[in-house]
Chains A and B, each alone.
Chain A
Amino acid sequence: MEGFLALVLVLSVSLLATSNTAARLRRSRPIALLLSGGWMWLLMGVAIGPAGLGAVDQTTTLGMTPLMAFVLGWVGLMIGLGAHRSVFGALPRAVVRLTVLDICMSVIVAGGLSWLILFFIDGRFQFGDLTLADRLLVVGLLVVCAIGWSMETRSLRSSLDEAGASLSLTVRGSGGLGALVAVGLWGAWDLLVSADASGNLAIDPVHVMQVFVAVTLGVLLLGLVTRSALRLAGDASPELLTVFLGVVALLAGVSMRMGVPAILAGMLAGVLLTNLAGKEVRLFERFLLQAEHVVAVVLSLVAGMLLDVQIGVVGVMLAVILSVARLLWKPLIVAGASRSTGGTGKELLRFVGVRQSPVAVALGVSLVLDSSGVWAHKVLGVIVLTGLLSESVPLWKTLEKRAAPMATTTTPDLEISGGAPEQAVSDSEEVG
């Protein structure tokens, strides 16, 4: 009964979040900034979960495993649907450069810092009962969580000129590409790093390849079955909805059975589906993407209920250091991308890189789903805290910008230019 009530609560809040009122609220830039990472819903999940008021207890949250797998499969599908073959042909070099740089820096900075803390400092402040395999898994997870950023750029765009639009597109494209890479890397790392029966580290690349082949074949089969099922369903909406939900559920269930992260299986399926021809498949794509906000809210609520707030000194240290690191190097690489696309490198939009990608929360939930250890809930807590801390500077910058007098990039007033053309020209140059 509690599980049913929890499900009703989660779905009700998700539907509220997609109402016209919620859409209107998101037009406000500070609110958009807060909502883009799902923080409001996440904190609501913490409030009603075992760490807060306890309206939903630990047993009930653990019983939501099928829902978690379903949501992760859906998230993976949405990420994979962006990988149409035409995108890779059309990718601007600026996007590729920015993504590659971001991945390298994430591995070096986030990987190095996490390694340092978990392998050398954790001895004094116990984070949890972690084996060597667990620590490696956590380091890998924190690296992939550091890749990319939130793709919502409207709240940080201070002008609608061409340079701003170009940088916004570069940032969003790079964020999307980073999400694809992050999920792929996490899936491979999760399969590669494991422990044997006695708890010793076991790295088996052959097993990874076997699983990868099996998943690829499974996804191919799923794609063909999906297309056939959609053709059979025809125009009937109830049948179509059944097929849509059934495909996602089948994907999530089978991947869990195979021990493959649902988000990875979903992503591979999304990549396949978006490159399949057929108007039925386009319909399926549209259905998945239209529900993006609902799924994001469900994910955030569930993540809030699952995380452990008692992350200890090590957890807080990890979160603070990783978010400070983001603040230091992410704006630099985005500013570099801005200059290479004709911008000044001083746009407010360069701070979008500081904001952690929402995919990080999905990857954290994936760890909780795959692992039986209590420490996984703490790691999710670290990821969430990192994300919250990393929102603070962009939020402050946005509020600061709103408080400052509005700068304009519009054409100088004709009366002014008629009277003093030199002054009007120099004004617009200053603004530009």
Chain B
Amino acid sequence: MGDVDSGSGTARGADGESARVLLYLIISDPSTLDRLMTVLLDLGIGGATVIESKGMAAIIREEMPIFSGLGALLPERTGSRVVFSATTNERAEQLFAVLDDEFSQRQRPIAFTVPIVGWVGLRG
């Protein structure tokens, strides 16, 4: 039974609220991050965690620099971000629709959800 106040629960809440999912966004174009944050807030998706990330191809390329070794000394500027947030399935669907309609193909992040079966520590 879901218990929002104590921050623990299982997949479906006591009032039959929409299932909880973990929303992932992989953003390769950092210039879209600001706009995406606004969209998330507009849709009521808060409490997101944003981490800097690097693609596998970038790491493999860095392991074997041929001409561009000086870049290793640059401050971390991976350019990619991963955003994840626990939210409801409904809100995630709304977000996908917005991403489809309002973001160009190049700006659109990779977005997907995975179901949350149980949780501790989530609020609201």
**Residues of chain A at the chain B interface (Cβ within 8 Å):** 23, 26, 32, 35-36, 38, 75, 78-79, 81-84, 86-87, 90-92, 95, 151-152, 154, 169, 172-173, 175-177, 179-180, 235, 237, 279, 282, 286, 289-290, 292-293, 296, 358-359, 362
Contacts and interface: CB of A to CB of B under 8 A. Distances in A.
B68 A81 contact: yes
Contact of A86 (B29, B65, B74): B74
B53 to A, nearest CB: 15
Question: Chain B: interface secondary structure?
Answer: loop
B73 A176 contact: yes
A154 B68 contact: no
Given A36-B64, A290-B57, 5 more contacts: A26-B64, A81-B71, A86-B74, A151-B65, A362-B67
A38 B74 contact: no
Given A86-B75, A282-B79, A358 B66 contact: yes
B13 to A, nearest CB: 41
A78 B67 contact: yes
B18 interface: no
A277 B34 CA distance: 18
Nearest to A288: B68
A289 B68 contact: yes
Contact of B67 (A23, A237, A292): A292
B94 interface: no
Contacts of B61: 289-290, 292-293
B68 A79 contact: yes
A36 B64 CA distance: 7
Interface string B42-78: 0000000000000001001101111111111111000
Contacts of B63: 26, 32, 152, 154
A303 to B, nearest CB: 13
B107 interface: yes
Contacts of B69: 82, 151, 172-173, 175-176, 179
Interface string B98-110: 0000001111000
A83 B79 CA distance: 18
Nearest to A24: B60
B8 interface: no
A6 B69 CA distance: 30
Contact of B68 (A82, A92, A95): A82
Interface of B: 29, 31, 57, 60-61, 63-75, 79, 104-107
Contacts of B73: 87, 90-92, 95, 169, 172-173, 176
A152 B64 contact: yes
Contacts of B107: 235
A82 B71 contact: yes
A155 B108 CA distance: 37
B70 A177 contact: yes
A156 B26 CA distance: 33
B27 to A, nearest CB: 13
Contacts of A78: 67-68
A237 B73 CA distance: 30
24 contacts: A36-B64, A36-B66, A75-B67, A78-B67, A82-B69, A95-B73, A151-B65, A152-B64, A154-B63, A154-B64, A169-B72, A169-B73, A172-B65, A172-B70, A173-B72, A177-B70, A179-B67, A180-B70, A237-B106, A279-B31, A286-B79, A293-B61, A293-B66, A358-B67
